[in-house]
Structure 1
Amino acid sequence: MGNAAHKNYDVVIIGGAIYGSSVAWWLTQMQGFDGRILVVERDPTYEFASTSHTNSCIRQQFSNRLNIQISRFGAEFIKGFRGFMGDDPEVPELVLQSYGYLYLADTPEFAQTLRESQAIQAAEGAHTRHMTPAEIAAEYPFYQLDDVLAANHNLVDEGYFDGGTMFDWFKRMARRNGVEYIHDEVTGMTLNAAGTGVDSVTLKSGDTISCGSVVNASGPRAVATAQMAGIDLPVRPRKRYTFIFDAANPLDRDLPLTIDPSGVHMRSEGKYYLAGCPPDEDPDVAPDDFGFDHSLWQEKVWPIIATRVPAFEQVKVINEWVGHYAYNTFDQNAVIGRHTKVSNFVFANGFSGHGLQQSPAMGRGIAEQIAHGEYRSLDLAPFGYDRIENQQKFMEKAVI
């Protein structure tokens, strides 16, 4: 473990994966902000971080306008990545492979929800189409659609990108711009006498670091970090399974990221295919529990994908892993910004599977809040902690 270079920092960020590094980098882009920034990361290999287990996709297909606006900026950021990184020739161009998400509806109610969501997405500039089964079959003849009534699909700014490279450059450029990263772990916090602010954090190495603001970017460990400040946060680790498989009879075109009504999703992955799902029983788990349910493929995933795409009758799993969603049990959407009482405690939590794709806009917003005391690009106030206290859910129908 390395010691911090100083005893006090303007911003201490707990967790250095996609959110810790996005917020850190964005802070270095805030005009007039020249504060000292420390990122504390417990595992600099990031082997078990949610960022390392992501499927690296982005979609415009949300039902809430703000989530759509966040994704619109995410796509702009990905496509203009080198420019955002100062046109540094070392920075790679990121490619957004827009094969799109295809939501399949098997009930009149879900078909109506898709129709309403498509209208909202179109009003925000997204290119989502509402499709009939005949239209789906004409473009993707490999699906079995007997139970399908309608679908939504979008071939613009929706699909796969290299999230690992985006994370790597957030981290590299943050460091290059003066952000300090240390291998250590925050084990406690000291609040002021009134309980309205965090004065300092205590590290596993024994150091005590004074802080102007502290950012909870702890992913699935966010609840433990919040508890150190006496804050209750409804974010829990939940397992999500991913399978990479080879097909004996590969499809003759890209497989969109298909969301089956069962909740299983699948898509092209280079010359292979990817499928994933939550388990049928979806309990909270320990943040270090990566035990794998090997029955899930045989009993749930494979029967569903082989029914939906008969060409997938003959497939072979070549890789599989389990990662964690930082799952907001309250409303499955992010919690960001300052706490209502502990005013220098800043959330970057609970993304419930949307985290990587939302990290450009959310990281920028959190940095604006810290540097300027307000959101200046997108008004992200609806994601504030106050909605949890007031029991007012952020409404989003399109949660995978």
Structure 2
Amino acid sequence: MTPTTPKHASYDVIIIGGAIMGSSTAWFLSDNPDFDGSVLVIDRDLTFETCSTAHTNSCIRQQFSSALNVKISQFAADFVKNIRSYMGGDERVPNLSIRNFGYLYLANTDAFAEVLRESQMVQKAAGAATEVLTSDEIKARYPFYDVDDIVAGSINTVDEGYFDGLAMFDWWKRQARERGVEYIENEVVAITKNVSGTLVESVTLKSGEVIACGQVLNASGPRAVLTARMAGVDFPVEPRKRFTWIFKADQPLDQDLPLTIDPTGIHVRENGGGTYEVGGYDHSAPDLACDYDDHQMDFMLWENYVWPIVATRIPQFEAVKVQSEWAGHYAMNTFDHNAIMGPHTEVRNFIFLNGFSGHGLQQSPAMGRGTAEWITYGEYRALDMTPFNYARIPENRPIVEKAVI
């Protein structure tokens, strides 16, 4: 039976949102010998059926334009490849791997090619194996592309590709629960602060319980702004709709297909067994916020917009059959497309872990670890995440990430 009522009236840490970020933080707290507090995770739906995590394309890359984002993904790759070791050698934990077909960014202008070259310098300085290729070099390695309009492309096939992110998510939840983290299916409807407004004192559940807390983590995904507003805070995160299709090709490629980011923004990757996965949205239309519960497919989008782009870039995909399709949400940080984390500047025990803009799952190991460090020590230790702290929002200090898909 799904638990809906908290066992206690007070917790050291309350995590609002139990999907990938909330569960990563809960697990890293449970794994830290210096943390001995109580943790309550509250989520509206413990099946996680419609959350962003459930709709992820489960890929990982190091091709970012900021060195910190590169390092965050490098830790994620190490965590994935050594997950059983990180989880105490628990033999129940599966051995995971990364299917390294890589990401291939295609540039059809000199300006975009220069962005790829600048980003490659950042990536290489951080230890990534990114290469920038000419269109002829791309064609030599991957003859199936039409690259007549392409100036250059960047690719890295080391720790870039697909991994089983949902397995990682499941084991974070399982081990966290076994170590005493409490999960309940309920909804926070109010947050109460002290008289001076500098600390959260309690949260109120939809079922009526009022729970005292030491610290509160906003890990509410696309709904993060709703949680923040209950604490009297507003910040720039909103749900943006993204679509995914799985198709089978009549003529499968004879080599792995990198996750190919077309200049239009549509991306397609290897899925295995002659099937391929496509993701994106209509880049020719405004990318507007959507309703939090809107997961309706646009069934004409494939035929009228997405498939023509894919078939033009890879003519061998002229004859395909869609096998499945779904819509999910990005938690889009409209300020600078990067994570918002750390404490609020005035409500000191209200902590953010929000706004990942489509690259949350691959960043979740480092983000959960960093947030657990902040909760435990009041500082980041393994990797300095301070540039992503909430303080940059009111101070208008964006960290522009150029590699957003």
CA deviation digits over 1:107-126, x for unaligned, max 9?
00011111111111111110
Question: Map of 1:224-373 to 2, 5 A cutoff?
Answer: 224-271=226-273, 272-279=275-282, 280-373=285-378
User: Equivalent residue for 1:384?
Assistant: 389
Q: Match for 1:291: what amino acid?
A: Q
Partner SS for 2:393: helix
Distance 2:34 2:387 in 1: 26
User: Runs ≥4 in structure 1, deviation > 4 angstroms?
Assistant: none
Segments of 5+ residues of structure 2 without an aligned counterpart are none
Match of 2:52 in 1: 50
Q: Give the conservation status (yes or no) of the 8 Å contact 2:249–2:320.
A: yes
Distance 1:118 1:332 in 2: 19
Deviates more, 1:280-289 or 1:207-216: 280-289
Checking the alignment, whether the CA contact within 8 Å between 2:62 and 2:159 is kept in structure 1 is yes
Question: Residues 9-62 of structure 1: CA distance to partner in whole angstroms, max 9, x if unpaired?
Answer: 000000111111000000112232100000011101111010000000000000
> Which one of the candidate residues 195, 204, 224 is aligned to 2:197?
195
* TM-score, with length taken from structure 1: 0.99
Question: 1:224 & 1:148 partners in 2: Cα distance?
Answer: 42
Structure 2 contact 98–162 (Cα < 8 Å) conserved? yes
Distance 1:278 1:297 in 2: 9
Question: What are the equivalent positions in structure 2 for 1:62-101 lying under 5 Å apart?
Answer: 62-101=64-103
Deviations 1:105-149 (A, max 9, x none): 000001111111111111111011111111111110000000001
* Conserved 8 A contact 2:337-2:400: no
Looking at structure 2, the residues matched to 273 and 136 of structure 1 have their Cα atoms a distance apart, in angstroms, of: 20
**In structure 1, what is the Cα distance between the partners aligned to 2:71 and 2:243?**
28
For residues 279-316 of structure 1, give each alpha carbon's deviation from its aligned partner in whole angstroms, at most 9, with x where no partner exists: 33311111111122112111111010100000011011
Deviations 1:250-299 (CA, angstroms, capped at 9, x unpaired): 10011100000000000011120011112333111111111221121111
Say which SS state the counterpart of residue 130 (structure 1) adopts: strand
Distance in structure 2 (CA, Å) of the matches to 1:294 and 1:32: 51
Which shows bigger deviation, 29-38 or 334-343?
A: 29-38
Q: Distance in 2 between matches of 1:307 and 1:33?
A: 54
TM-score normalised by structure 2 residue count:
0.98
CA apart distance, 1:212: 0.3
Aligned equivalents of 1:283, 1:112: Cα separation in 2: 29
**Distance across 2 between alignment mates of 1:302 and 1:2:** 44
Distance between the aligned counterparts of 2:240 and 2:400, measured in 1? 20
AA paired with 2:276?
Answer: Y
In 1, distance between residues paired with 2:115 and 2:222? Answer: 30
Identify the residue that residue 117 of structure 1 maps to in structure 2: 119
The residue that corresponds to 2:150 in the other structure is 148
Structure 1, residues 182-226: CA drift from partner, whole Å, max 9, x if none? 111111011000000110000011111000000001111101000
SS in 1 for 2:49: coil
Question: Residue 89 of structure 1 aligns to a residue in which SS?
Answer: coil
Deviations 1:162-192 (A, max 9, x none): 0110000010011111101111111101100
**Aligned AA (1:367):** A
Offset of residue 2 of structure 1: 2.2
Hey, what's the Cα distance between the residues in 1 that align with 2:109 and 2:166? 37
Partner AA of 2:241 in structure 1: K
Q: Distance in 1 between matches of 2:385 and 2:281?
A: 28
What is the identity percentage for the equivalent residue pairs of Structure 1 and Structure 2? 60
2:110 to 101, 108, 111: 108
Which of 17, 24, 30 is the matching residue for 1:22? 24
Q: Which consecutive unaligned segments of at least 5 residues does structure 1 have?
A: none
- What is the Cα-based RMSD across aligned positions, in Å? 0.8
Q: Which amino acid aligns with 1:264?
A: I
Distance 2:387 2:55 in 1: 28
CA distance in 2, matches of 1:130, 1:285: 36
Tell me, in whole angstroms, the C-alpha distance in 1 between the residues paired with 2:185 and 2:154. Answer: 44
